[in-house]
Amino acid sequence: MSYSLLTPPAALPVTLAEAKEDLKIDDAAQDAIVTAWLAGIVGYTEHLVGRALITQTWRVVHDTFPDAFMVPMPPAQSVTAVRYYDEAGQLQTLAPADYLLDVYKLPGWIVPGPGKAWPMTQAGRINACWADINCGYGTAADVPAAAKLFIRAKLREQFDPAIRPEKDTVQSSFLDRLLDPLMIRQVA
């Protein structure tokens, strides 16, 4: 299995205006560096929790159909398509009635629909089937407050040496635990 980002999020969960207000910056010349740090911290946050924050589209690829496609960056919103190369090597798209998206279990799964089974794929073909999945909470308004707070606090750490995490302050200890409820834990 492999997965890749097809469509990145259209926005960040914390706006440039919010970030500049937090940092007490009113100089437009700083916009590029603040935006770069903000994007990096959002990526770091998503990596830590194993979740997509703002809507984005991911592709999960397998050589043959698995029992279930795992959602790579929950929460899952919808499936754009499930495609595969049939036994004759022809590209096919499954009808939405042929599969179900389980959004209640984390990380989320795409499974065959009731009474259905995955079709056979072309023998020996690598990357023979894939699913494109819309993931994320939605817009910035839908992102959990703890994730936004973590992003804003980490951004401040980058711009204010007085609150760097190596000082092991009460603030940095609190920040380290802020994302715990959002972490995706794999259960064997």
* Residue at 66: amino acid letter: P
According to the model, what pLDDT value does residue 187 have?
A: 43
Q: Do 126 and 62 share a structural domain?
A: yes
Question: What does the pLDDT read at residue 181?
Answer: 86
Distance of CA 28 to the CA centre of its chain: 30
Q: Of 25-29, 52-56, 64-68, 127-131, which range is least confident?
A: 25-29
CATH number at residue 49: 1.10.3230
Q: Are residues 31 and 65 in the same domain?
A: no
Determine phi and psi for 78, rounding to 5 degrees.
-165, 165
What is the pLDDT at residue 183? 86
* CA gap 61, 52 in Å, rounded: 18
pLDDT, residue 16, reads 96
Please, what is the average pLDDT of the chain? 91
Residues 76 and 24 placed together within one structural domain of the fold: no
**Mean pLDDT (whole number) for 135-151:** 97
Residues spanned by the domain of 125: 58-133
Number of compact structural domains in the chain = 2
